[in-house]
A and B are shown apart, each in its own frame.
Chain A
Amino acid sequence: MNVISDKLQVEGNRWIGTRTVRPDGADKVTGRAAYAADNTMPGMIWGKVLRSPHAHAVIRSVDTSKAEALPGVKAVVTARDIVDFPVDKSVMLGIQDMRWMCRNVMAREKALFHGHPIAAVAAINEEVAAEACRLIEVDYEVLPHVIEIEDAIRPDAPILHDFLKHEGKPSNIAGTMTAKLGDVEAGFAEADVIVERTFRTRPVHQGYIEPQACTVSYAADGRATIWSSSQGQFMVRAMTSLLTGVPQSNIKAIPAEIGGGFGAKTIIYLEPLALLLSKKSGRPVKMVMTREEVMRATGPTSGSFSTVRIGAKKDGTIVAAQGTFYIQAGCLPGGPLRGPVGCAFAPYEIPNVLSVGFDVVSNRSKVAAYRAPGAPLGAYAAECVLDEVAEKLGMDPLELRLKNSAKPGSKAAYGATFGKVTFEETVEAIRTHEHYKAPLERNPRPGVRRGRGVASGFWYNAGGESSAQVNITEDGNVLVTTGHPDVGGSRASIANVTAELLGIEHGRVSVQIGDTSSIGFSNLTGGSRVTFASAMVVTQSTEKVITQLRERAAKIWKIDPEAVTWENGEARPAGPNAGQFPPLTLKELAAKANEMGGPIGAGVQLNTQGADPGFATHVVDVEVDVDLGIVRVLRYTAAQDVGRALHPSYVEGQIQGGVVQGIGWALSEEYLYDRQGRLDNAGFLDYRMPVCSDVPMIEPVMLEIPNPKHPQGVRGVGEAPIVPPLAAIANAVYDALGKRFYSLPMSPPKVLEALEE
């Protein structure tokens, strides 16, 4: 379903808003697309990582002599080879602190989780490399470990880092974040109804299909080339440079096709190790993680332990909201506090808000970004409490949301004063949707109960740095280069925009992703920013190209460039006064490019602004098998303000994908550890992501309310859809069973146990 509110930006469009064939589609369905692990080079050798078998241990010594002596071994690296960033001085790259990154890619003083890299080996093949890893002798002093948040914040918990202090004492609380508005206690004093609940969620993995992989070739002249799969080749270059000491100008990072990232590939694990192994061995080095390594050692997102309290007046006016969010960081600081602290109450205009987050370290792999990092954790707690508030007030849960929705000029606790706010529209879209109004058969069969739930969500969205180059080829076609790995169909959207602006056939536009040496700096593919930002720089580049084309035509016709217009892929005299000339097509102008001034092309590099936030409201029907405790999702409808859907298929895909990940989070995904602190389900069999048959067709309702700050009206869409599902499903399960669950996942044993209480 597609609701378009502003005809102005739609009428007359030939390509924008249409479902063109994606530029990378044929390669992907025929198996030709080259992912990171597909790269090979002459003389290439294989790198492997030795990982800690302990959850927490002092590394007394690492003896690599036997490994180095094994025939076929070409290089060994340890923490000594990685640039050390002392713990007392922060060095930031974006949101990543190099003090923690250098300790994450290779354990330094201590092994902090089961799977923490201890050393890396390069050898003539994978088997020899694996054998060499077994020959490395590590002297560990095993320490008591701590896994769960509630254990980690106890006064007697094993402390991971002596240098981290909270309230003056060594602590596993690495930092806090507060968002405040008004006086929350005064607000609660006015409330007629107050609901306070405590919630728990488990860490969940991004679950991308493609494991981390790279090939790095360090040449004799000190220049390195990196082929890897990431959400940002410039991030790969910068972080590898910082961790190895090789200057950025000497590193070329080439982005491979990416087999999913969902935030996780905004940091690196292997590239610095492979570079150092290549430097030592003089050979190109390839490293590919196994699925088990991915699960054990790459970031999931945080688990959480949260308390939310909301107070409202009898008429439904929310007067105060308070949230306390303990968020897992993994073994090193840096949990996504900004997600729950800033987003939990952001859809609502609430005069008094106090939202506090705590960053808690424990002996787990360091968390990485995951789609709207942290926001689902806050929304889960806040939106479940809102459901209870609505119930106590005897109000429809969507009416309660509408009554309190943020409006233009509303101030959010995280600091923003909203401009255009489109939250109400998402609530209204669900409230009036056939799904919400359809009768629900509550007991279709013996032992089966059904329920319906709703929830909303907010995500900041982002702009930031992007670069583009638009070149006209000698034969009059178009090549667009951007600096963003394409995780969600961004090339397809960019092709639509460029063909639209130039007024030419879609098939004449090729879109490619440049490496770090062929396009200007472009920030990560993340924050729901790429289509927003790259459409902006591509638009400006294309407009410059059109200006050049008009100038060339003017030169040929010997008239003023102002007297030339560009229409339907041709230069034409602007009016009868401009003179009588037959139109000049793009092909004709390209053929005359050199004689009329040289190659035609333009690039733009910008720090893009104006990415307004995203809002979403979802409704879900669930069915519970009360004898087995299994919850199945029967029907799901997700409404979201998408700004402008440049390519509707990939906007729908973003919404559907986010919802499915939310379903897994709510019902089945969790990290399980044994008593020694070892991950017990490091694979897709027992780490239960939903499979196709577990989920219904998710119906996206795209509300096309153009973002006035963007040339095509684009608004980021990738992250908001994972924010509401946790609470929407929990609320639906309550509706089915009359029992509220305050911890995720709502797995069958947990549901059955609760039903028997």
Chain B
Amino acid sequence: MTDIRYLAPRSLEEAVSAFAAAQGAARILAGGTDLLVQMRNGVVKPGLIVDIKKIAEMTEIAETPEGGFRIGAAISGATLAEHPRFGKAWPGVLEAINLIGSKQVQGRASPGGNLCNGSPAGDSVPAMIAAGAVVTVQGPNGRRQMPVEAVPAGPGRTHLAPGEIVVSFTLPPRPAGSGDAYLRMIPRTEMDIAVVGCGVSLTLQGGTVTAARVGLGAVAPTVLLVEDAARALIGSRLEEEALEAAAAACRAACRPINDKRGTIAYRIKVAGVLLKRTAAIAAQRAGGN
């Protein structure tokens, strides 16, 4: 029998110092939709739980002076969906976060938790990577920023230093003619985990792609930023050859495993299919088609 301490600090400093002091025996609680499941399955047995939802900065949605968004890492997908402008600027990111779990889960689950859980199949991560989101991290040595794609280290692991907490995601301003989208392949229609997930963010001017980013999930130990796919799209007018080249780049980036959710061959094939479908939606949203 082990006792579990529960803390719900009001300030980040307090949270970081308790989290760091526990030296790995602590877990951060945001929505808890991964943590509680893992505790119940006996995968983790924390001595301390630090609930970060009472820290204002971690549940805020702020519009940055540059015209972007900064969203607290512990905000729930459902709350984010209620924001009047976020979903208009980043429909792909929003739909990715709100593909996670059921309605009930979406009322709790957060993008910060989804990222820090370290699953290669986390739905919000490829969309955040495609969006070019940057996370603000606070630890015993202060604050730093890192791109989302730099956070995952492998299944269940991150590059966060001991005691560090992801505080917020900053999404850049959206130039005119931009759009993003996220699609995942699941055998069911909902309540499932991505076999492959693909996020695409595009900016088009006069029908030509001027900026592109592609995130790919569940096809490697970490969610991938596929720069070759983006390069294949940039400068194109999303002709079939360009889309096929980007799809091929996605397939080439895959380093998947055979598991209960999908085979290697299946995941590689699907990565290319999803790239094309996601890019089409992003382009439509960008108003370029």
Contact = CB atoms under 8 A, between A and B. Distances in A.
Interface of A: 127-128, 131, 292, 627-630, 632, 667-668, 672, 680-681, 685-686, 688, 690-691, 693-694, 747-749, 752-753, 756
A686 B260 contact: yes
Contact of A628 (B1, B193, B263, B273): B273
A490 to B, nearest CB: 30
A681 B266 contact: no
B137 to A, nearest CB: 30
B191 interface: yes
Contact of B190 (A630, A685, A693): A693
22 contacts: A127-B1, A628-B185, A628-B270, A629-B266, A668-B188, A681-B260, A685-B191, A685-B192, A685-B193, A686-B193, A686-B260, A688-B187, A688-B188, A691-B188, A691-B189, A693-B190, A694-B188, A748-B187, A748-B195, A748-B266, A749-B263, A752-B266
A691 B266 contact: no
Contacts, number: 54
B261 interface: yes
Nearest to A447: B273
Give the interface size bracket for B toward A.
20 to 34
Given A748-B266, A749-B262, A752-B269, A630 B191 contact: no
B265 interface: yes
Given A667-B187, A685-B191, A748-B195, 11 more contacts: A128-B1, A131-B1, A628-B273, A630-B187, A632-B189, A668-B188, A690-B188, A691-B189, A693-B189, A693-B190, A749-B263
Given A688-B188, A694-B188, A680 B260 contact: yes
Nearest to A668: B187
Contacts of A628: 185, 270, 273
Nearest to B264: A749
Contacts of A668: 187-188
Contacts of A632: 189
B273 A627 contact: yes
Contacts of A694: 188-189
A686 B261 contact: yes
A571 to B, nearest CB: 56
Contacts of B266: 629, 748-749, 752-753
Contact of B185 (A680, A691, A748): A748
Given A131-B1, A672-B260, A752-B269, A747 B187 contact: yes
Interface string B178-207: 000000010111111101000000000000
A294 to B, nearest CB: 15
Nearest to A131: B1
A35 B223 CA distance: 43
A693 B265 CA distance: 27
A672 B263 CA distance: 13
Contacts of A686: 193, 260-261
A691 B190 contact: yes
Nearest to A128: B1
Contacts of A128: 1
A628 B275 CA distance: 12
A128 B187 CA distance: 39
Interface in B223-271: 260-263, 265-266, 269-270
A439 B195 CA distance: 34
Interface in B153-197: 185, 187-193, 195
A725 B148 CA distance: 46
A222 B190 CA distance: 51
A694 B260 CA distance: 20
Interface in B40-71: 41
